[in-house]
Structure 1
Amino acid sequence: MRIAREGSLRVHTGRRRVRGGGLRKTTVAIAVALAAAAGVASGAADAARTSQRAATLSVMTRNIYLGGDIAKPIPARTREEFEAKATELWNVVRRTDFPTRARLLAREVRRHRPDVIGLQEVALWRRGPTGVKDGSATPARTVVYDYLALLLRELARAKLRYRVAAVQREADIEAPTSLGYDVRLTMRDVVLVRRRTGLRVVRKFGRNYKARLVVPTVVGTFTALRGYAGVDLALGRQRVRVVNTHLEAFLDQTRVAQAQELVARGGPLRTPLPLIVVGDLNSDPRGENPGAYRVLQSFGLRDTWVLRHRSKPANSCCLAREDLSDPTPAAFDHHIDHILVKPRMRVLAQVVVGTDPRNRSRSGLWPSDHGGHVAVVQLPRR
Structure 2
Amino acid sequence: MSKHLSLLTWNMYLGADTSPLFTAPPVLIPERVTEVFRQFLATNILTRVKSIARQIASKKPDFISLQEAERIQLVIPSFRTVTYDFISLLLKELRELGLRYKVAAVNHNFSAELPDSHGNTVRFLDRDAILIRTSSKLKIVQKTEANFNTNLVIQIGGQPFVVVRGWSSIDVCWHGRTFRIINTHLEPLAPAIQVAQAQEIIDGPGNSQLPLIVTGDLNSNADGSGTPTYGLFIADGFHDTWVEVGKGNGFTCCQDADLLNNQSSLLSRIDYILFKNGWIPLKADNVGEKQQDRTETGLWPSDHAGVSAALKLNKNCY
Q: TM-score range by the shorter chain?
A: over 0.9
Q: Which residue of the other structure, out of 286, 290, 294, is the alignment partner of 1:360? A: 294
Large movers: runs of 4+ above 6 Å? none
Where structure 2 has 5 or more consecutive residues not aligned to the other structure, the ranges are none
Q: Which residue of the other structure, out of 105, 109, 114, is the alignment partner of 2:52? A: 105
| Deviations, residues 353-372 of structure 1 (Å, cap 9, x unaligned) | 11011021221011101001
| Deviations, residues 76-132 of structure 1 (Å, cap 9, x unaligned) | 1x323222222111001111111111110110111000111100001101133449x
What letter corresponds to residue 278 of structure 1 in structure 2? T
What letter corresponds to residue 293 of structure 1 in structure 2? Y
Q: What CA distance in whole angstroms lies between the structure 1 residues aligned with 2:274 and 2:295? A: 31
Matches within 5 A, 1:15-30: none
Which has a greater percent of strand?
Answer: 2
Q: Which residue of the other structure, out of 299, 303, 306, is the alignment partner of 2:243? A: 306
| Aligned counterpart, 2:252 | 316
**Cα distance, 1:197 vs structure 2:** 4.3
Change (3 A) 1:315 1:173: same
Q: Which residue of the other structure, out of 197, 203, 228, is the alignment partner of 1:291? A: 228
Which has a greater percent of helix?
Answer: 1
Instruction: Kindly indicate whether the alpha-carbon contact (under 8 Å) linking 1:96 and 1:323 is maintained by their aligned counterparts in 2.
Output: yes
| Deviations, residues 319-371 of structure 1 (Å, cap 9, x unaligned) | 0x211111121x10000001100126321111011101102122101110100
| Aligned counterpart, 1:68 | 16
Instruction: Kindly indicate whether the alpha-carbon contact (under 8 Å) linking 2:210 and 2:277 is maintained by their aligned counterparts in 1.
Output: no
Instruction: Kindly indicate whether the alpha-carbon contact (under 8 Å) linking 1:274 and 1:380 is maintained by their aligned counterparts in 2.
Output: no
Instruction: Kindly indicate whether the alpha-carbon contact (under 8 Å) linking 2:150 and 2:193 is maintained by their aligned counterparts in 1.
Output: yes
Aligned pair 1:246/2:182, yes or no? no
Aligned pair 1:234/2:181, yes or no? no
Percent sequence identity over matched residues? 36
Report SS of the residue matched to 1:108.
helix
TM-score (norm 1): 0.79
Q: What CA distance in whole angstroms lies between the structure 2 residues aligned with 1:229 and 1:246? A: 10
Instruction: Kindly indicate whether the alpha-carbon contact (under 8 Å) linking 1:302 and 1:344 is maintained by their aligned counterparts in 2.
Output: no
Q: What CA distance in whole angstroms lies between the structure 1 residues aligned with 2:226 and 2:122? A: 32
Report SS of the residue matched to 2:295.
coil
**Cα distance, 1:220 vs structure 2:** 2.3
| Aligned counterpart, 1:334 | 268
Instruction: Kindly indicate whether the alpha-carbon contact (under 8 Å) linking 2:9 and 2:273 is maintained by their aligned counterparts in 1.
Output: yes
Q: What CA distance in whole angstroms lies between the structure 1 residues aligned with 2:46 and 2:74? A: 17
| Deviations, residues 275-328 of structure 1 (Å, cap 9, x unaligned) | 000000000021532311111112111101111148x41111100x21111112
What letter corresponds to residue 161 of structure 1 in structure 2? R
Report SS of the residue matched to 2:69.
coil
Q: What CA distance in whole angstroms lies between the structure 1 residues aligned with 2:259 and 2:44? A: 10
Q: Which residue of the other structure, out of 67, 76, 81, is the alignment partner of 1:120? A: 67
Report SS of the residue matched to 1:234.
strand
Matches within 5 A, 1:165-184: 165-184=104-123
Which deviates further from its counterpart, 285-294 or 113-122? 285-294
Q: What CA distance in whole angstroms lies between the structure 1 residues aligned with 2:215 and 2:311? A: 13
What letter corresponds to residue 85 of structure 1 in structure 2? R
Instruction: Kindly indicate whether the alpha-carbon contact (under 8 Å) linking 2:252 and 2:266 is maintained by their aligned counterparts in 1.
Output: yes
Which deviates further from its counterpart, 215-224 or 250-259? 215-224
Q: Which residue of the other structure, out of 266, 272, 283, is the alignment partner of 1:349? A: 283
Q: Which residue of the other structure, out of 102, 105, 124, is the alignment partner of 1:185? A: 124
Instruction: Kindly indicate whether the alpha-carbon contact (under 8 Å) linking 1:302 and 1:343 is maintained by their aligned counterparts in 2.
Output: no
* RCO comparison, higher one (Cα < 8 Å, 6+): 2
Change (3 A) 1:110 1:91: same
Instruction: Kindly indicate whether the alpha-carbon contact (under 8 Å) linking 1:105 and 1:367 is maintained by their aligned counterparts in 2.
Output: yes
Instruction: Kindly indicate whether the alpha-carbon contact (under 8 Å) linking 1:121 and 1:187 is maintained by their aligned counterparts in 2.
Output: yes
Change (3 A) 1:227 1:239: same
What letter corresponds to residue 266 of structure 2 in structure 1? F
| Aligned counterpart, 2:33 | 86
| Aligned counterpart, 1:95 | 42
Which deviates further from its counterpart, 195-204 or 109-118? 195-204
| Deviations, residues 22-71 of structure 1 (Å, cap 9, x unaligned) | xxxxxxxxxxxxxxxxxxxxxxxxxxxx14xxx31111110000111122
Matches within 5 A, 1:218-229: 218-229=157-168
| Aligned counterpart, 1:3 | none
Query: Which protein has the larger Cα radius of gyration, Structure 1 or Structure 2?
Result: 1
Aligned pair 1:280/2:217, yes or no? yes
Q: What CA distance in whole angstroms lies between the structure 2 residues aligned with 1:179 and 1:333? A: 38
Q: What CA distance in whole angstroms lies between the structure 2 residues aligned with 1:150 and 1:316? A: 23
